[in-house]
Structure 1
Amino acid sequence: MAKAKIYIVDDEKDILDLVDYNLSKEGYEVECFTSGEEILRKVKSEVPDLILLDLMLPGVDGLDVCKVLKHTPDTAGIPIIMLTAKGEEADIVTGLELGADDYIPKPFSVKILLARVKAVLRRKSQKQAESMDVIRIHDLMIHPGRREVLVKDKPVHLTYTEFSLLYFLAQRPGWVFTRYQIVDALRGEDYPVTERSVDVQIVGLRKKLGEAGKYIETVRGVGYRFKEHI
């Protein structure tokens, strides 16, 4: 698996060399930049997994770079760790408010730098994994990580079983599942199956979903399926 790509932005060559060496040693793909203008040009053609951004830069400073990146849709999701000098508390607060993920004061420990980089990249991976599992179909959103369902951006409060049933069906739109398959998926094969138990859950689920309940279709003589269109 390819290691993350990291951009370092700092106008001090000693800092660039130190960070570049240690990140490369860890297997990361690293590119170095000495100005805000350079990094803003670069991200238009290639977006990294993380940016280490010095706040004190000539020309366009680090805070301005952070603001531009976080207000541009294509780059808003790039994690940013600010590199800061002592006495920049106000700038640190501003940077965090603009959307920066973390900061490291200079002079810094290489071990701390590597630990912060790994932590931020890990959080990014977790967010990506969660977002991949989210199901969005028209005005219906199902978020398994939060066990949250929204219909037209309004929360729908479901029981544990109702949510599990909805998510199971919605993962495979168009597929028809028998009541036995549904219970097996939700409760395990040793759980006693009755047609009535599944039907009752479906009735309650449809009622709570309102108009979106029509996504759940009864297939007579077989079971249920989730439709992509009402």
Structure 2
Amino acid sequence: MTKILVIEDQEDIRSIIKEILTAENFLVMDAENGQAGIKFLQTEIPDLIICDIAMPKVSGYEVVTWARENPTTEAIPFIFLTAKGSQNDIRQAIELGADDYLIKPFTRADLLGAIKARLEKEEIINRQTQKKLKKLDNELYSLMSDDLINPLNYIMSISKKLIDDYELMEREEILTKIKEIYNFSEKIHNKTSH
């Protein structure tokens, strides 16, 4: 279930948002101001944050700045929901790291549309990241395989020769082959232990 943190100092607006989101099967947590929102983010990690700007104690600008400076919260989609609608307000919010900006009064459709857009974008980013990680994992496996398989094949061929021909081999030749096995084994060990 998608967890959404609503940070809003006006209780009536916070209740309306909670009601709308709960009806859409979101798990909703709320904080009555920016300070409480930051405290919440120190223990819980939501999937999305909806935050007012003008609040007592800690403003929404301070919340988004704090969230973007912390590794555990820096990528959480962040939507401002505020009465501050000037171009400067919007620009400042985006520059601080907000992903979207809704101006009060808002409609249910506006709110849900913004949330849906942010969550879909997050899903696309996650899919792309997983593809990149899988590609890197495959490349690493391929490199490791080449580095390990070739020496192992050589060790196996030397061992096979020792098994098949040990009665015909001179003692010095046997010792040389055993040293080769040891050296290749050591190379494999060094590559895999770092």
Fold shared per TM-score above 0.5: yes
Identify, as 1 or 2, the structure richer in helix.
2
Distance 1:40 1:218, change over 3 A: same
Look up the SS of the partner of 1:30 in the other structure: strand
Q: SS at 2:30's partner residue?
A: strand
Secondary structure of the corresponding residue to residue 70 of structure 1: helix
8 Å contact from structure 2 (residues 4, 26) kept in 1: yes
**2:117 counterpart letter in structure 1:** A
Alpha-carbon offset, residue 168 of structure 1 = 5.4
Correspondence for 2:25 among 21, 24, 27 = 27
Q: Which amino acid aligns with 2:101?
A: Y
Give the deviation of 1:20 after TM superposition. 0.4
Residues 195-223 of structure 1: CA deviation (Å, up to 9, x unaligned): xxxxxxxxxxxxxxxxxxxx797687xxx
Larger Rg: 2
**1:123-142 alignment, distance < 5 Å:** 123-135=121-133
Q: What CA distance in whole angstroms lies between the structure 1 residues aligned with 2:27 and 2:192?
A: 41
Taking every aligned residue pair, what percent have the same amino acid on both sides? Answer: 31
After TM superposition, give the deviation of residue 59 of structure 1 in Å. Answer: 1.2
Mapping of residues 1-230 of structure 1, within 5 Å? 3-135=1-133, 169-170=139-140, 174=144
Q: Comparing both structures, which one devotes a greater share of its residues to strand?
A: 1
How far 1:132 moved relative to its partner?
Answer: 2.2
Matched AA of 1:44: Q
Alpha-carbon separation, structure 2, partners of 1:217 and 1:22: 58
TM-score, length of structure 1 as denominator length: 0.60
| Matched residue SS, 1:59 | coil
The alpha carbon displacement at 1:113 in A equals: 0.6
Query: Which string of whole-angstrom CA distances, capped at 9 and with x for unpartnered residues, describes residues 132-174 of structure 1?
Result: 2323xxxxxxx86xxxxxxxxxxxxxxxxxxxxx985546665
How large is the Cα RMSD of the aligned pairs? 2.7
How much has 1:72 moved relative to structure 2? 1.2
Gaps of 5+ in 1: 136-142, 145-165, 177-214, 221-226
2-side partners of 1:130 and 1:171: how far apart?
A: 20
The amino acid of 1:8's aligned partner reads V
Equivalent residue pairs, number = 157
